[in-house]
């Protein structure tokens, strides 16, 4: 008595398993011979590659689309780098102008006033306030100036920044913004606070919430703070 042969379903499954096994073997062989298509370029046109949208394309067409996508991404990154370079160039020019203004100042009071003027005019600061740890002769009751002792408790949130010299960028808690910006605090949607070694803090406020934000580059802010510290020491 003969045994019954495989059903049509079983035969189909066996064929599928065999095809998968053969497919893996072909894929492994091609990985070991990546230049195979150079000998048979016509295969690049006849081979079919599935696409995300469900349609299929020839291998050559697929490779062309991949290259086009890479080119679009490289172009986008190039435009982004070019834009960043232009922004950095403008910041470098303005920082240089600030340094020159500080060098021209003859007294500590003139130095602080020059810093405030440049931050307002060239860096679009809506409100600029300078907090010094000790009185500065000649500043008097200027609206942009205030004196807070270095050991004042109000400076506690900025101890780390003062110690490291790293500027703070972002939005301040209302009570902290109030003593830095006074009556204008409610209008300040973002700010940058520059610790100036041996001098105090320079706060630049903006009505634009995206003007200063956590994680933004602070290189030029640090350079400005260092330039002010050097100018104040020179004017002593």
| pLDDT in the model for residue 28 | 87
CA atoms in the 13 A half-sphere facing the CB of 111: 25
Checking if the pLDDT of 135 tops 70, the result is yes
Residue indicated by tokens 């046109």? 45
Higher pLDDT, 122 or 59: 122
Residues 6 or more apart in contact with residue 214 via CB below 8 angstroms: 169, 170
Q: Which fold has domain 106-234?
A: Beta-Lactamase (3.30.450)
| pLDDT in the model for residue 69 | 85
From CA 236, how far away is CA 227, in angstroms rounded?
15
Nearest to residue 94, comparing CAs of 120, 64, 72, 76? 120
Dump pLDDT digits (tens) for 36-74: 777 877 776 666 666 665 555 566 676 777 788 888 899
Dump pLDDT digits (tens) for 72-89: 899 999 988 998 899 889
| pLDDT in the model for residue 8 | 59
Checking if the pLDDT of 20 tops 80, the result is no
Checking if the pLDDT of 117 tops 80, the result is yes
| pLDDT in the model for residue 233 | 93
Average pLDDT over residues 205-225: 93
| pLDDT in the model for residue 195 | 96
Nearest to residue 191, comparing CAs of 217, 219, 172? 172
Q: What b/e sequence results for 55-76 when a residue is b if at least 16 CB atoms lie within 10 Å of its CB, and e otherwise? A: eebeebebeeeeeeeeeeeeee
* pLDDT band for position 112 (cuts 50, 70, 90): very high
Checking if the pLDDT of 7 tops 90, the result is no
- Average pLDDT taken over every residue of the chain: 85
pTM over 0.85, yes/no: no
Checking if the pLDDT of 5 tops 60, the result is no
């Amino acid at each position: 008595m003969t045994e019954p042969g495989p059903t049509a379903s079983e035969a189909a499954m066996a064929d599928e398993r065999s095809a998968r096994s053969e497919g893996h073997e072909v894929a492994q062989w091609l990985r070991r011979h990546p230049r195979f298509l150079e000998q048979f370029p016509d295969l690049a046109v006849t081979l079919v590659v599935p696409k995300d949208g469900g349609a299929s394309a020839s291998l050559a067409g697929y490779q062309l689309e991949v290259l086009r996508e890479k080119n679009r991404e490289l172009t986008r990154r190039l435009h982004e780098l070019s834009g960043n370079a232009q922004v950095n160039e403008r910041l470098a020019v303005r920082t240089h102008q600030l340094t020159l203004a500080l060098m021209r100042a003859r007294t500590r009071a003139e130095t602080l006033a020059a810093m405030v003027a440049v931050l307002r005019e060239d860096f679009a600061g809506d409100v600029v306030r300078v907090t010094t740890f000790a009185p500065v002769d000649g500043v008097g009751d200027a609206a942009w100036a205030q004196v807070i002792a270095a050991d004042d408790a109000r400076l506690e949130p900025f101890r780390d920044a003062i110690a490291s010299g790293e500027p703070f960028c972002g939005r301040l808690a209302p009570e902290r913004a109030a003593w830095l910006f006074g009556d204008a605090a409610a209008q300040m949607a973002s700010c940058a606070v520059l610790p100036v070694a041996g001098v105090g803090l320079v706060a630049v406020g903006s009505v634009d919430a995206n003007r200063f934000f956590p994680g933004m580059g602070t290189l030029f802010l640090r350079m400005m703070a260092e330039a002010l510290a050097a100018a104040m020491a020179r004017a002593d």
